[in-house]
Every structure is written in C-alpha cells, then in structure tokens.
Structure 1
Amino acid sequence: MNLPFQISLENKVAVVTGGSGVLGSTMCEALAAAGAKVVILARNKEKIDKVVDRINANGGEAYGYAVNVLSKDDLEAVREEVLSKVGPCNILINGAGGNHPKATTSRERLKLEDLEDAEQQTFFDLDSNAVEGLFNLNFLGTLLPTQVFAKDMVNQADATVINISSMNAFRPLTKIPAYSGAKAAISNFTQWLAVHFSKVGIRVNAIAPGFFLTDQNRSLLIGENGEYSDRANKILSQTPVERFGEPEELVGTLLWLVNHKASSFVNGVVIPVDGGFSAYSGV
C-alpha cells in the first residue's frame, strides 16, 4: 500500500484483532506500510495467512494467529509469543466484532400482523443466546484483548489503543438493536478507558466507521442482480456524499490517532468516518 502521506511507526508493534476482514486487513496493511510490525489476530487462519503474505510480499513485517478473542488464555499465549518474537505491544486495534442474524428483526417497524406471521422475526423473537453472543464478541472481544496486551503498554512513551465503534453508537439503526447497543457500549468503554489509563501514558480513542461494503453486510446491501438493495439506497439517501466508504478512507484517521506527534492531546474521543451520515438530519 502506498500511503498518501509520510508517517513512521518504525519499531512499533501493532496488534490488530479482527485483522483479516475487509476493514481490518486494510488497517493492517497501512500500519505495516508505515513501518510497524503487525500482529494479526482473527478466527480464520486461511484469511489471516493471506493478509500476512500480502504484507510480507510488499516489504512489511506481519505475523498471524488464529485465536478466539473471548479466550483470555488464548490471548495470553499469543502475548507471550509476540513478546518473544517482536517485543511488547505499542498499538492495539480492537477490530473484532459483528452482528448476528438471530439478533436482527425482519422489519424496521413492528406491524400488528407480524405477531401472527411465523415468517417474521420480531423484537419478541430475538434469540437471547444470539444477543448474548453478539455482546460478548463486540464488548468482551474489546475488553479482554485490552486487559492482556495493555499490560505491556503501561508507562510507554506513546502507547495507544484504538477501538472500532460504529454509526450505530451515535444513533441506533433499525433492525439491529443488539449490535447498536453493543457498539454504544464500545464508545462508552473508550471514554472510560481513556480516563482510567490517563496517568500511565496510554491514550484510548475510537473510530466509528459509517457504511462500508464488507463481507458481513454485502448480502444485505447488494442484491443477487448486483444492484443496491432498498436498504442500501435508503442508507445512501441519508449519506451526504451519496456513496459507501472505501476501506482506504479509514487509513488517514487511523494513522493520525496512532501517531503520538500528531495526536498526543487527543484522548477519549469517538471519531466518525461516515461521509456526513451522522451530521445529516434527513431534511
């Protein structure tokens, strides 16, 4: 990846959870292009290896581990190996997360007849196990890696944690109440951590992406005919730039936040990268 500006993360170790996805892999490649040694944590080893190979082929340095971010024991084992191979973590990106179809309603608004329609998944039908799993993945999947890797960041000169929030944290989106609530928790947790770590040199901020086409939402936004779905068109109508974001458009904000010289006084904020979605009232 060719960066649009110069920034050096030489000798820094960046740990990225969820680093094999569309957005996560772009972040990993950007960090590597800036000189960081990148450690990619995700579930799918095949996807991890592809990102690692791509970074190393382009002259970067990357390592990958298939790990469950909800297992503190797994995370501790990876931490020990990372310490022995490349040193302590300087930058932690908490990107693991996702939605669950059983925690999603069929319609945006409940209709009386839905209560008698077995094909509709209403609010009353949401699966509590799916909701619990979703909250665990998004919230505990941020808390646990921070507990593990931030130990080595205490009293570093320029350590930083970046959490990945969402537009859902600003305004809950229809159909996805659990995911919206979980991302709101991430934003709140970001502010809490920023205060908690303020005396030991760790800055904590979050990025709240707007609407990007990813593996998780592509089927909801793009029909089998390749055209935008009704939901996609509705999203675009509420996004002033009238398009979806490109993964590379997260890079500038990411590199600004992890660069101590550029953002040393920025702490405890959640920054939208959303094409104006959060600023638009719809009229």
Structure 2
Amino acid sequence: MTTNMNTQQPDDELRHWRSSVQDYISRNDDINLYIAAQNLNRLAPADPLGLFGLAKAQRHRGELEPAYFNITQARQRSAEPVEGMLLLEAQLAQQLNQHAVAADRYAELIALNPLEPGYVTARADALRLSGHTEEADKELRKGRDFFQYDQALHDSGVAAAVATAEKDAININQKPAYLTAETAKNALEILRKPEPLESVRTASAHLRERYENLQTAAEYALKRHFVWREWWQMIIIGLFLLFLIPFEYGVLHGAVAGILETPTFTEIFGTVFAVLVLLGIPLLLGFIFFFPKGYKISRSKARKTGILLSR
C-alpha cells in the first residue's frame, strides 16, 4: 500500500510539471517556465519537453549558450521533428552567429511547413550572412514563385464565385447592383457557399473587395430594391394620370382666371395655396397607393428562402 502511494506521488508530480511546462510555453510565460522546466528536468532528465522549456526560458534570460546546448539535446531526444524546437534552435544559432547551422534548421522548417513565408526569408538571411549570396537570392525567388502560385491556387475558388455572381450584376458608379430580388438571391447563394466563404478572408485584397461589394449589393437588393412592376399596376397608373391631367388643367385654368380678374396679393396667395393643396393631395395619394413599388422581399421572406441577411 505504501509502495503504491510512493510510486503514484512522483507520477502525479511529473504530470503536473509537464502540464505546467506546456501551459507556460503556449502562453509565452518565460519566467514561470524556467522554474517549471527545471522541476521537470529534475524528475525526468531525458524528457525533451523539459529541455525545450528550459532552453526557451534561458534564451529569454540571455543565457544563449546553455539554451543552445539544451535545445540541441531536446531535439536529439525527440522522436520526431518538432517545429517549435527547430525554430528555437535556428534562432539561437543565428544569435550565436552560427548562420550555416541556422540555414540548415530553416531548411528543415520549410520542409515541415512550406506555407510559412517567414521561414523562407529567414533562411535566405542566414545564407546571405554565411556568405552564400547567390543561394540566398535563389531561395527568395523560389519562395516568391511558390507563394504567388499558392495564392493564385487559393484565390481560384473565390474568383470563380465572384465571376459567376458578377454575371447578373450591372455597374452603377463603378459599383455592382442587382435589379431583381431573384438575381440577388442567386448571387448570395453563390457567394456564401463553403469554399468562397472560408477562403475570402485570406484572398488577395482586390478579390476580397470585389466579393464584399457583390455581397453588399445583393443584400441591399433583397432588403430595399423593388422588382418588376405588375401589369395591373401599370393600368391603374395610366388611368390615374388620365383623370389627373384634366383635373390639373381645370384647377390651373380657374386659378389663372381668378388672378387676372382681381390681381391682389391675397388673391394671388390664396390661389397659389389652393393650387398646391389641390394638386399635392391627389399626387401624394397617387404616389402612396399606386406608384409601382413591386414587391419587396422582407427579412422573414428572405429567411424562408434560405438567405440570412446581416443587420
């Protein structure tokens, strides 16, 4: 019983310090990391995590040579290449002017994570400082070509969605606009598919701007813009204008005749006011009840059709 308790206590302590080291590494808390890594090394001298944590803390304290020794030991004892260990060794090698070693470590980092542009630049700098200028320039060119190709490949899904959504849009003041709710709905469905929606945040600035303009235009069309006028609305408007024109003529004719008969200020003011009221009321009623607004797509209708509008 006593033996089991004695065995369990070091195991619990080891787990505690390993967890603490991992936590302090993730939070970049180099002060507490130094103490936790020392305790982990005391309990498990061969644990690469403890050596890595100690090296990271020692670099923060300015103890570069002990840090470099510990990180090389940690990397040798690690079963597989760890990106954080390689990066720390490369940084320490550069600080200790071992630029050739740093270039080798950055080459391993590029092999592990080819999508990190900082590794390419850092390796080129290390090569240049170690005297390999031509190789450094070649590395930069190769990295630039790779990232341009990768960006173009990454943008292709967004570009295809944008091009499809632009087909139904017209340009007004160099901005896209949709004339019907149906085309706006189709555009939003295209733009909000998983592929362009996930990729647009990291797309090129020009493509991202086109995407955002189209999305704004489609949302505006669904919220505000009217669509085709109905045939019965056009007939009502025609009849309304047909009866309004003679009425306007009669009012204006009577007003002018009154002014010519008694051209006093009161007569003129009263006539103008009467004309404005008599013409304004039917015009206002006409615009309110008969102007062909078409049907507007409300937020609830849009939600039923599967389009989620931002507030």
Give the structure with the higher percent helix.
2
Q: Which has the higher contact order (CA 8 A, sep 6+)?
A: 1
**Greater C-alpha Rg:** 2
TM-score by length of 2: 0.22
Give the structure with the higher percent strand.
1
TM-score by length of 1: 0.24
